[in-house]
Amino acid sequence: MAKALDPELRSSPGLSPANWAIISLIILSIVTGILETEESLVHANGWMFSAAEMVLFCVFFVEYVLRIWSSVENPRHASRWAYARTPASILDLVTLFAIGASLLGPEGFLLRLARLLRLLRLSRLGRFTAAWQTLARALANRGYELGMSVALAVLMVLISSSLLYLIEGALQPEAFGSIPRAMWWSIATLTTVGYGDVVPLTAWGRLVGAVAAIAGVGLIAMPAGIIAGAVSEVIQQRRRDAMPGAIKDDDGER
């Protein structure tokens, strides 16, 4: 049974059918939790949400008990109590409580938010682990240049928001009355998001805004190029590993 639940004990690569089912249910529970925040949906289909939460609670409760029970089959865990204290197991318990709490009353949002943490655990399971590590390593190798981009970005946010504060601070106190306020406009412009809820109105303010918009195009090109390079490295790495006859120094999990 432990082989069905613990990816580390499984001989063949990929996830076991049991784990695929649990992942599907985790995703279902997240989708349910998200939809439940929309009152118009809950109002119309209240009993469906209640039933779904009830079923999910029972399944996750059984899963939790089974995981603890079978944990000793993995030599890494000294005892069931030792496994129960691992972060992964505590996270399971927390999310179990979260679902239970949402069954009792509609105020359990903060607890329900905890279920989102499960998504992070998902990403550590099975297939994606090796790829994420390759990407993280590729980005770490470029940490120096990413740092340069961040430094340049911070500098440009500071300069553009300071200038807008100086130019339009008196005219639009709500939007540019202080540098932290002006930063909202500044970041929206430099990332080319451009909400438009706050815009410079004077000629000088618009001149600074136009320069910031153009600088933003160059600014986002730096991290974009670095990340694209890191991703392409990950792709080449995977191809090398996938080639027959290649020396594999990985855990073969991918």
Q: Which of residues 184-243 bind its own copies (CB under 8 A)?
A: 184, 187-189, 191-197, 199, 203, 206, 209-210, 213-214, 216-218, 220-229, 231-232, 234-235, 238
15-23, 48-56, 100-108, 112-120 -> range binding its own copies (CB under 8 A): 112-120
Count of CB atoms within 10 A of residue 47's CB? Answer: 7
Beta carbon of residue 168, minimum distance to its own copies (angstroms, whole number): 13
Which residues 56-95 are close enough to bind its own copies by CB under 8 A? none
Question: Does position 153 bind its own copies by CB under 8 A?
Answer: yes
Beta carbon of residue 58, minimum distance to its own copies (angstroms, whole number): 24
8-16, 58-66, 85-93, 131-139 -> range binding its own copies (CB under 8 A): 131-139
Minimum CB distance to its own copies smaller for 75 or for 252: 252
Beta carbon of residue 171, minimum distance to its own copies (angstroms, whole number): 15
Contact between residue 186 and residue 120 where contact means Cβ atoms under 8 Å apart:
no
Q: Give me the torsion for CA of 90, 91, 97, 98, rounded to 10°.
A: 160
Question: Does position 111 bind its own copies by CB under 8 A?
Answer: no
Question: Does position 183 bind its own copies by CB under 8 A?
Answer: yes
Query: Cα–Cα distance between 93 and 85 in angstroms, integer?
Result: 10
- What string of DSSP letters covers 75-93? TT-SSHHHHHTSHHHHHHH
Question: Does position 35 bind its own copies by CB under 8 A?
Answer: yes
Under DSSP, is residue 170 helix (H, G, I), strand (E, B) or coil? coil
Q: What's the start-to-end Cα distance of the chain, in Å?
A: 22
Q: Tell me, residue by residue from 6 to 25, as one string, x for binding to its own copies by CB under 8 A and - for no binding.
A: --------------------
Q: Is 244 left (phi over 0), alpha (psi -120 to 50) or beta?
A: beta
CA 227: distance to chain centroid? 17
* # residues contacting its own copies (CB under 8 A): 72
Query: Cα–Cα distance between 248 and 254 in angstroms, integer?
Result: 11
Beta carbon of residue 79, minimum distance to its own copies (angstroms, whole number): 34
Question: Does position 135 bind its own copies by CB under 8 A?
Answer: yes
Instruction: Rule CB under 8 A: choose which of 48, 93, 119, 140 binds its own copies.
Output: 119
Q: Is 212 left (phi over 0), alpha (psi -120 to 50) or beta?
A: alpha
Question: Does position 51 bind its own copies by CB under 8 A?
Answer: no
